[in-house]
Structure 1
Amino acid sequence: MHRRPFILSSVATLLAAGTPILSSANPRQQKGRRSEPSEDPARPYLLREDAMRFADDLAARRGLDPQWVRSSIGQALFIRSIPRLMLPPPRGTAKNWRVYRSRFIDPVRIRAGVRFWAANGSALARANEQFGVPEEIIVGIIGVETIYGQNMGSFRVMDALATLTFDFPPQHPRAQARQAFFQDELEQFLSLCHRTGMDPMTPLGSYAGAMGMPQFMPSSWVKHAIDFDGDGRIDLWNSPTDAIGSVASYFQGYGWRPGMPTHYPVQLAPEADMDALLAPDILPSFSQASFAAKGAILTGAGRDHAGPLALIELQNGSSEPTFVAGTENFYTITRYNWSSYYAMAVIDLGREVAAAR
């Protein structure tokens, strides 16, 4: 199975199982607030030798003031609920696309999307022109992630990243790799704060440390966030224009192909080789000819598609799964969150908002 770096907090395994996305809040309006009272106020990371060693090493490698790094990490608090939220669902938990979809494509989110599009139409059109990413895809991302900024989360980012750096749950099946990922995100976050003058104890975000309307992890902020409103700074909490441009920049960075559909309907022959078709997971791996040879037939506009394809399976509990043929652009959406359920929710929400306009 193809693996990728984790980009955002909306952790694909949890999303695919239906776990809600949490996100970040306006740091200027909610300075110092946390999502919940500290569950263990006696456990600031200042008291942890491993945390202070990490701080010294980080400062040396990044050329940062050691006392500032020690103080920043030392003020972070262990949040007991966060490691539990990172654990995958129990084995045998049934996935259900129809239930999952209903959590994101609902009247409240669609109406909010219509308002967002009306208020930010020029920025969306400019992002489409500059980066080639359709307005409805950007609208779908920001709507699924934070309901257009209504639910940007309320964990202190510093608490979340420190908890996952030093207390990642060891029972997670990929604990070592995931903990290393969050160590890097903590390093990226502190470097970003130092470079921009942002107080690391102020920003609020998701339980995994994602920030702003588009829920960017620190590494994604560093690589892809842009000042799209031209005010001289990047603000993903308060500037919808920056959020729109940054999402488009992100997709361009991950290979979005302008004009290419995200997926097509597919017909499966009774003798289709499902093991072979599903083996690459969401990674487009089949030419249309090899797709057809294994029993997956495209119809309509899909017959003219020239690029690689993947058979996308969306399980529906005890009912028959839903299948589509995913293109390279479908795969690009999963770079935002490694989940075909997530990608389809983004696509469907964008389409529903466009239709409601």
Structure 2
Amino acid sequence: MTSHTPSGSFLRSFTLAIFSIAFLTVATVASHAQTPKKTVAAKAAAIQGPPYATRAGAMQFADDLAARRDLDPAWVRDAIGQARYNATVSRLMQPPAKAFVKNWRVYRSRFIDPVRIAAGVRFWKANQAALERAEKEYGVPADIIVGIIGVETIYGRDTGSFRVMDALTTLAFDFPASHPRARERSDYFKGELEQFLTLQSRRNADPFEVRGSYAGAMGMPQFMPSSWVKYAVDFDGDGTIDLWNSPADVIGSVANYFKAFGWQPGMPTDYPVSFDRSRLDMDALMAPDILPTFSVASFTAKGAVLKGPALQHTGPLALIELLNGADAPQYVAGTENFYVITRYNWSSYYAMSVIELGWEVAARVNP
């Protein structure tokens, strides 16, 4: 799921839900706004609930959106009015009913498997020039870009089957009321719905033709609409941005996303770490969670043991804990670049899967 794109505070509270769902599902945009020539067509079957045209609040939102964005009011009302509530979308956004036991080994096995690795090798070899250019222009290594696209959609194989228009509208106006932060999340998805309709208007495209994740994320990199607007680039230079069918645009956009969030060229994502039990202060080491906070000196003073290049690291570090169910957890020392990967999805498990999938693919491309 592309819950990676919202703000950090929004994503932090989604970590457990994202983790559990992972086991269940595995040129520039034209600057001028215009009314799409295609009619808004509601084609998908088995959509639950009445159209949002019956909801006064949704129609008022449509009018306000059209005025803010200088869009055709009739087109916006038609689009939101034809959207339908999707009960599956709502259900998937609710926290798990019972406590979920995190297990890194099981999580890893879902994303680092022979199918994904083989697809990654093919993707890398077919798009090597674009990967090399992205690393040169943005500083993001090919293995990280390849790892992201592989974890997200298996290189475009699984980009989602939900109508984005229905998903965003459902979450904007019917986010599960039982959720303790329902209002905040409803507001977030109203913003994404606004970005999506603005984007589709400028692309002169039918909003109901777009399929994506249950959260409304789109394309090979699973960008939310706001991330598409902010970070997607026309890396193949054909005058359009296509995150479904242009691997070059996908590669450039992912690299641009990471650069925008502070990726530092040449910096490792993590280092091995062990512990000196005689002086270990695990509570202090875990207190900042995945946010890099400790200098090497303060990190080691609290009982973490680093070796080799890690001792020369000049930036802050975080202790990353990967639980293994009833077995002993695993740990790494995460750098600022590890933290940047979690801006895509607020989860250390996700970040390690991206890193290790990239390693596995790279080892086969460049043995």
Match of 1:48 in 2: 55
The 8 Å contact of residues 33 and 156 in structure 1, kept in 2 or not, is answered as no
Q: Which moved more, 1:156-165 or 1:290-299?
A: 290-299
The 8 Å contact of residues 21 and 145 in structure 1, kept in 2 or not, is answered as no
TM-score between the two structures when normalised by the length of structure 1 = 0.92
**Which 5+ residue runs of structure 1 have no aligned equivalent?**
24-30
Deviation at 1:309, TM superposition (A): 0.6
Aligned residue runs from structure 1 range 17-36, under 5 A: 17=20, 19-20=22-23, 34=44
Match of 1:110 in 2: 117
TM-score between the two structures when normalised by the length of structure 2 = 0.89
Q: CA RMSD in A?
A: 1.9
Distance in 2 of aligned mates of 1:104 and 1:33: 33
The yes-or-no answer on 1:274 pairing with 2:282 is yes
Matching residue within 322, 333, 336 for 1:328: 336
Aligned residue runs from structure 1 range 76-91, under 5 A: 76-91=83-98
Match of 2:184 in 1: 177
The yes-or-no answer on 1:149 pairing with 2:156 is yes
Match of 1:120 in 2: 127
The yes-or-no answer on 1:339 pairing with 2:344 is no
| CA distance 1:21–1:208, shift in 2 (3 Å) | farther
Deviation at 1:91, TM superposition (A): 4.9
Distance in 2 of aligned mates of 1:144 and 1:313: 20
For residue 38 of structure 1, what is the amino acid of its counterpart?
I
Distance in 1 of aligned mates of 2:299 and 2:133: 36
Distance in 2 of aligned mates of 1:67 and 1:39: 24
For residue 297 of structure 1, what is the amino acid of its counterpart?
V
Deviation at 1:276, TM superposition (A): 1.4
Distance in 2 of aligned mates of 1:231 and 1:176: 40
Aligned residue runs from structure 1 range 1-357, under 5 A: 4=8, 6=10, 12-17=15-20, 19-20=22-23, 34=44, 37-40=46-49, 43-270=50-277, 271-357=279-365
Q: Which moved more, 1:83-92 or 1:326-335?
A: 83-92
Q: Which moved more, 1:85-94 or 1:71-80?
A: 85-94
Distance in 1 of aligned mates of 2:24 and 2:314: 35
The 8 Å contact of residues 22 and 151 in structure 1, kept in 2 or not, is answered as no
Q: Secondary structure at the match of 1:302?
A: helix
Distance in 2 of aligned mates of 1:133 and 1:290: 28
Count matched residues.
Answer: 343
Q: Secondary structure at the match of 1:201?
A: helix
The 8 Å contact of residues 22 and 206 in structure 1, kept in 2 or not, is answered as no
The 8 Å contact of residues 22 and 205 in structure 1, kept in 2 or not, is answered as no
State the Cα deviation string for residues 279-298 of structure 1 (Å, max 9, x = none): 11111111111111111121
Distance in 2 of aligned mates of 1:83 and 1:255: 33
Deviation at 1:319, TM superposition (A): 0.5
Distance in 2 of aligned mates of 1:92 and 1:98: 18
**Which 5+ residue runs of structure 2 have no aligned equivalent?**
1-6, 27-40
Percent identical pairs in the alignment equals: 64
Deviation at 1:59, TM superposition (A): 1.4
| CA distance 1:18–1:204, shift in 2 (3 Å) | closer
For residue 151 of structure 1, what is the amino acid of its counterpart?
D
| Runs of 4 or more above 4 Å deviation | 20-23, 31-34
Deviation at 1:342, TM superposition (A): 0.3
Deviation at 1:87, TM superposition (A): 1.5
The 8 Å contact of residues 163 and 209 in structure 2, kept in 1 or not, is answered as yes
Deviation at 1:20, TM superposition (A): 4.9
Distance in 2 of aligned mates of 1:212 and 1:20: 21
State the Cα deviation string for residues 127-185 of structure 1 (Å, max 9, x = none): 01110000000000000000000001111110000000011012223222221111110
Deviation at 1:94, TM superposition (A): 0.7
For residue 206 of structure 1, what is the amino acid of its counterpart?
S
Distance in 2 of aligned mates of 1:275 and 1:170: 35
| CA distance 1:185–1:240, shift in 2 (3 Å) | same
Distance in 2 of aligned mates of 1:33 and 1:13: 34
